Amino acid sequence: MQLLRARLHFFAELVTVLLFMAMFAAFLLQVFTRYVLNDPVAWTQEFVLIMYIWIVFWCGAFLLKEREHITFDMFFLALPPRQRRILAIVLTALTGLVFIVALPATFDYVTFMKIEKSPVMGIRFDILYSIFIVFVVAVAVGALWRIWRLLGRSWQSELVAGGDVEP
């Protein structure tokens, strides 16, 4: 199981690196054609934006851990560990539930967007924004997985704040 997780994580990182490389190459091409050749190409701006959208949602879905998200946790950290566990279960369940409930409407809207295309490259919006469906599913599955871990014996490791495990 650890080997499979490591390989999937490596794959997610590899995809991210390729997306960043493509975005950076298009950015450099944009700078070169605009300032050196004085003849900018239009598709590079759109391509960079599309790559940015994919990088944000791809990383949010597969690479960012719960602890790496920005949180306002002063109230949460003031609670004793057992109450933090309960609050974490409730809030994670709510988050997962919201994403699960939103999934059908999200899917309908993204698939409906096939009628629109990006202005320069002509990429259908359903393809362009399909990464958001992947993100919604990943957040919902991640919430279920976190609840599973919070209900397990080593639930304290889920409540780590700033790298220190609370007693």
pLDDT of amino acid 160? 66
- pLDDT tens column, 15-71: 999 999 999 999 999 999 999 999 999 999 999 999 999 999 999 999 988 777 777
- Say which residue, 152 or 72, is predicted with more confidence: 152
Q: Under a CB-based contact definition with an 8 Å cutoff, are residues 113 and 129 in contact?
A: yes
**What percentage of residues in the chain have a pLDDT greater than 70?**
95
* Domain end point (choices 26, 45, 64): 64
* Domain end point (choices 27, 43, 64): 64
Q: Under a CB-based contact definition with an 8 Å cutoff, are residues 50 and 27 in contact?
A: no
Residues 44 and 79 both lie in one domain? no
Lowest mean pLDDT among 52-66, 68-82, 138-152: 68-82
Residues 126 and 152 both lie in one domain? yes
Residues 78 and 42 both lie in one domain? no
pLDDT of amino acid 13? 96
What integer is the mean pLDDT of 89-106? 95
Q: What are phi and psi of 55, to 5 degrees?
A: -65, -45
Residue 162 has pLDDT above 90, yes or no: no
Residues 28 and 96 both lie in one domain? no
The total of structural domains in the chain comes to: 2
Q: 126-147 burial, b for 16+ CB within 10 Å, e for fewer?
A: bebbbbbbebbbbbbebbeebb
**CA pseudo-torsion sign 142, 146, 147, 152:** positive
Q: What are phi and psi of 124, to 5 degrees?
A: -60, 140
> Whole-number mean pLDDT of the chain?
90
Residues 91 and 160 both lie in one domain? yes
According to DSSP, the residues that pair with 117 across neighbouring strands are: 124
pLDDT of amino acid 164? 37
Report the C-alpha gap between 95 and 112 in whole angstroms.
Answer: 25
Residues 85 and 43 both lie in one domain? no
List the domain range (segments joined by +) for residue 90: 68-167
Residues 14 and 78 both lie in one domain? no
pLDDT of amino acid 165? 39
* Domain end point (choices 13, 29, 64): 64
**CA pseudo-torsion sign 66, 72, 77, 81:** negative
